[in-house]
Amino acid sequence: MKLPVYLDYNATTPIDPQVADAIEPYLREHFGNPSSDHVYGRRAKETVIRARQEVAALIGAIPEEIIFTGCATEANNLAIHGIARALWPSKRHLITSAVEHPSVMRPFLRLRDEGWSVTILPVNGDGRVEPAAVVRNLRDDTALISVMHANNETGAVQPIAEIAAIAQLHGILLHTDAAQSVGKITVNVDRLKIDLLTLAGHKFYAAKGVGALYIRQGTPCLPPITVGANHERGMRPGTENVPALVGMGAAARLAHERLASEEPRIAILRDRLYQHLQRSIPDLALNGPSNDRLPNTLNVSFPGVNGRDLLKAAASDIAASVGSACHTEKGSAASGVLTAMALPAERIAGAVRLSLGTPTTHADIDHAAQALTAAWRSLSK
């Protein structure tokens, strides 16, 4: 059976064949525990060290600043709860944005329930935080600002460098969830002046169930969420998932090597898809910024139809998403991201997220555009 064109790379990516090849020996002969003091353990430990070096190189960090986790959700929780615990009670205020992933928003809401003051910044019509809004909401007791680097639904890239400059001027720590941006655009922690940054392996062709948290040297020591042995400098106890870390390191190395050529190639394909749809569908609306956006992400609203119904009609030809998992099965729940952008209800209802990846071809794009157009026409009759 021929599978539909996959355009849901912001949800997850396939494991790159080179990454799978790198992982395979560590599922079989190289099975040692990195804490064991014999040849099997030493080999595993060396492998983890190499993976840490490769992940660090991808974001311009040093290996000692990388803490491996089980996923980006865990990394976000470690960053947010860790800073809150480290700085309480001298600091009592936190800032985030209205378009964050639940793995950021829900820790903030939990901390609010525990007595922290939490400011949720609005976004403009492009889904971006205005740096001036950050300045207006600073307090003497602000501990942390957490704003995602790029949005998972619209691809909007936030002005993190400007926000970091504000945070640094006022002595406030900055965390960014970069799960969607790392591997798609250049992310350099020194140029961005970020204190903490979250990565997700399965967003750049590694396996699911592995992530990392970058913690700039000099950042207050984060109390662990779970306690145990002294793995990952005591911040993330538990025996390392060596095969997954091997894969994340290999994927980071490949992303580093390919980024300069892959970023413009993907952007060309994304724009080709948008142009096809624009020509065929009157009043098609782009959601999010036209420029400050991930090269692989196209979020558009199809007029007069429901986005979920559209994707069901085209399901034999294309696999894509309406966006956030907060949409219910019947499509009755509005996207929190598009709602925060103050888009009209009918535009939100017709929204579809199309996200491209390394395997995407020109033929895939042309086929997807035809399928989406045909589905829209059938539903518009």
> Same structural domain for residues 336 and 372?
yes
User: Residue 286 forms beta bridges with which residues?
Assistant: 300
> Same structural domain for residues 287 and 374?
yes
Last residue of a domain, one of 200, 221, 254: 254
Please check whether residue 167 is in contact with residue 145, taking contact to mean a CB–CB distance below 8 angstroms.
yes
pLDDT in tens, 22-60: 999 999 999 999 999 999 999 999 999 999 999 999 999
Burial of 328 (0-12, 13-18, 19+ CB in 10 A): exposed
Q: Which of 319, 326, 374, 379 is catalytic?
A: 326
Q: Residue 264 is part of a domain; what is its CATH number? A: 3.90.1150.10
Last residue of a domain, one of 230, 254, 278: 254
Percent of the chain with pLDDT strictly greater than 70: 97
At residue 32, what is the residue type? G
pLDDT at 100 over 50: yes
Provide CB contacts within 8 A for 128, sequence distance 6+. Answer: 156, 157, 158, 159, 289, 292
> Same structural domain for residues 182 and 201?
yes
pLDDT in tens, 276-296: 999 999 999 999 999 999 999
At residue 8, what is the residue type? D
Query: pLDDT value at position 324?
Result: 59
**DSSP string over 231-284:** GGGGTS-S---HHHHHHHHHHHHHHHHHHHHHHHHHHHHHHHHHHHHHHHSTT-
Using DSSP's 3-state secondary structure scheme, residue 324 falls into: coil
Mean pLDDT of the chain: 96
Pairing of strands 297-301, 351-355: antiparallel
> Same structural domain for residues 285 and 315?
yes
Distances in whole angstroms, Cα of residue 91 to Cα of each of 116, 145, 201 = 9, 12, 32
Please check whether residue 353 is in contact with residue 261, taking contact to mean a CB–CB distance below 8 angstroms.
no
The whole-angstrom separation of Cα 186 and Cα 91 is 33
pLDDT at 107 over 70: yes
Last residue of a domain, one of 233, 254, 275: 254
Provide CB contacts within 8 A for 275, sequence distance 6+. Answer: none
> Same structural domain for residues 186 and 270?
no
Question: For this structure, is 326 an active site residue?
Answer: yes
> Same structural domain for residues 107 and 243?
yes
Provide CB contacts within 8 A for 34, sequence distance 6+. Answer: 41, 44, 45, 47, 48, 239, 240, 242
> Same structural domain for residues 266 and 248?
no
> Same structural domain for residues 209 and 311?
no
> Same structural domain for residues 351 and 376?
yes
Model pTM above 0.85 = yes
User: Residue 318 forms beta bridges with which residues?
Assistant: 5
pLDDT at 330 over 80: no
> Same structural domain for residues 49 and 27?
yes
> Same structural domain for residues 47 and 111?
yes
Instruction: Report the domain count for the chain.
Output: 2
Using DSSP's 3-state secondary structure scheme, residue 173 falls into: strand
Residue 12 structure tokens: 């997850």
Query: pLDDT value at position 327?
Result: 41
Please check whether residue 242 is in contact with residue 209, taking contact to mean a CB–CB distance below 8 angstroms.
no
70-95 average pLDDT score: 97
> Same structural domain for residues 267 and 145?
no
Percent of the chain with pLDDT strictly greater than 90: 94
User: Residue 142 forms beta bridges with which residues?
Assistant: 93
The whole-angstrom separation of Cα 89 and Cα 370 is 58
Domain ranges, residue 137:
17-254
Q: Residue 131 is part of a domain; what is its CATH number? A: 3.40.640.10
Q: How confident is the model at residue 20 (pLDDT cuts 50, 70, 90)?
A: very high
- The per-residue b/e assignment along 353-376, b for 16 or more CB within 10 angstroms, e otherwise, is bbbbbbebeeebbeebbebbbebb
The whole-angstrom separation of Cα 230 and Cα 188 is 28
